[in-house]
Amino acid sequence: MKNAQRLPVKMALILSFIFSVNGSWSQTVKGFYVDGFHTILGNPAKEDSLLTFAQNNGFNYLTLYNLHNVNQQHSMINTSSSALLANFIYKAKTQFDILEIGGGSENFEFFRDIIHVYNTQHTNPLEKIDVYNLEFEWWNALSVDTGGYYCQYYLAPNGDTCSIDGAFQYASNLLYSIDSLANSVGLTSEVYLGWFNDQQAVGLVGTGVDRIFLHIYIPSVTFNQTHQYNYVNDRLRSLGLTNQPVKVFPLYSSEPAFMQSWVTANDYYLPFDLLETSLQNETGSWKSTIQLEGIQWFTYSYMPRKNMDLSVEENTIQFTVLQDRSANSIIIQNTTDSPINYHYQLVDLSGNLLLSGTQNESILKLDPFAAGTYILRIRSANTTSNFRFVK
């Protein structure tokens, strides 16, 4: 049972999430995972680039991925070193329209001993982590079978069977504990899910978890409304058949193997609208318990930089791209201390190649091109980065 203290605080949000009379949901929460956050925190330019990208594209939720890396560099339970994180969260919420910050981990001890303690030490809600996000891929046979990562570090030491059934039981207990911990102080729990069956859906919903990220990892070339719904329908149905209200976030990947090229040319929130329409047209009565609450993207480093003022430093680690409007040009800068070989392409929104070259040509003149929106792609041995700009 949820803590009764949560109701007054969240009532307005809860009411906005309920399936309305006209059969539509609202993308109240719009979020993405932030990978490599330990390389961003403490660098004002990179922090502001991340937050400007979020604000300019209408995102209001950030899930900080791999927080253990941050904790290793800047102890989150040391009141002095944790000020970096507190200041970032405060800035995000007060200057950049971020409503929630999530903290991700795969083990209960990190939530209890690190994230929860950090929150206890910071009494200002504007400095707190609001959501406890669990990622434990119990359905991944390679990871949970004998010799796999989860088997070696979690299942076997806990006395659980190294199998999908054993991993599911372990993850269910883990999720219940995390949900209870979060709810004890009026916060939110959520979990990333890949594949599961009807029986497992009952167990997952029974943990009390507040909301579910349901992955829809489809390649750009095959993404459309029908394929998306066919891909996720069985799992939505399994959740709906639990007869318990379930808040669902469709989760998409902007990695090159999935929807990077699609979302470069399309709106970040269109997939939600397409899923909403498909679910409205669903005839099964089970759909009445599904609440599409928001959308989530994986992950920041792969997301096309739309609607950005490119005078802001981009978090590409290797490159900064500046737009010199007075000279009608773009300048590619290497942000590392060593030379980098790279290849660039300038394309329009239809994918037509307009310019290409190498690191020997770092200033690109835009005079020959008409006013409009363009995408600059930079590929090196380690990264592929996309920059969107308007001439």
Which class is 319-390 in CATH? mainly beta
The yes-or-no verdict on residue 17 having pLDDT over 50 is no
Per-residue confidence (pLDDT) for residue 173, from 0 to 100? 97
Task: Measure the CA–CA gap between 62 and 29, rounded to whole angstroms.
Answer: 10
Question: Which of residues 353 and 72 earns the better pLDDT score?
Answer: 72
Per-residue confidence (pLDDT) for residue 18, from 0 to 100? 37
Asked, as a colleague might, if the bond just before 383 is cis with ω within 30 of 0, I would say no
The yes-or-no verdict on residue 348 having pLDDT over 60 is yes
Give the sign of the dihedral formed by CA 372, CA 360, CA 257, CA 163. negative
pLDDT band at 368 (very low <50, low <70, confident <90, very high): confident
pLDDT band at 20 (very low <50, low <70, confident <90, very high): very low
Phi and psi, residue 5, nearest 5°: -65, -15
- Annotated domain spans of the chain: 6-302, 319-390
Which pTM was predicted? 0.75
Pick the CATH number of 6-302 from 3.40.50.280, 3.20.10.10, 3.40.50.720, 3.20.20.70: 3.20.20.70
The yes-or-no verdict on residue 386 having pLDDT over 50 is yes
The yes-or-no verdict on residue 13 having pLDDT over 50 is no
- Arithmetic mean of pLDDT, 261-273: 94
- Arithmetic mean of pLDDT, 218-227: 96
The mean of the pLDDT values for the chain is: 87
The yes-or-no verdict on residue 19 having pLDDT over 70 is no
Token pair 């990077």 is at which residue?
260
Report the run of H or E that residue 102 belongs to, with start and end: strand 100-105
Per-residue confidence (pLDDT) for residue 312, from 0 to 100? 43
**Residue 90 DSSP class:** H
Token pair 């909301």 is at which residue?
211
Our CA dihedral for 34, 35, 39, 43, rounded to 10 degrees, sits at -10
- Min mean pLDDT across 162-171, 191-200, 329-338 is at 329-338
The yes-or-no verdict on residue 187 having pLDDT over 90 is yes
Q: What is the DSSP string of 225-278?
A: HHHHHHHHHHHHHHHHTT-S-EEEEEEEE-STTTTHHHHHHS-TTHHHHHHHHH
Q: Return the closest-CA partner of residue 239 out of 272, 177, 195, 173.
A: 195
Measure Cα distances from 151 to 147, 167, 168 in Å. Answer: 6, 8, 12
- Tokens at residue 149, please? 């990562």
Per-residue confidence (pLDDT) for residue 1, from 0 to 100? 35
Question: Which of residues 23 and 391 earns the better pLDDT score?
Answer: 391
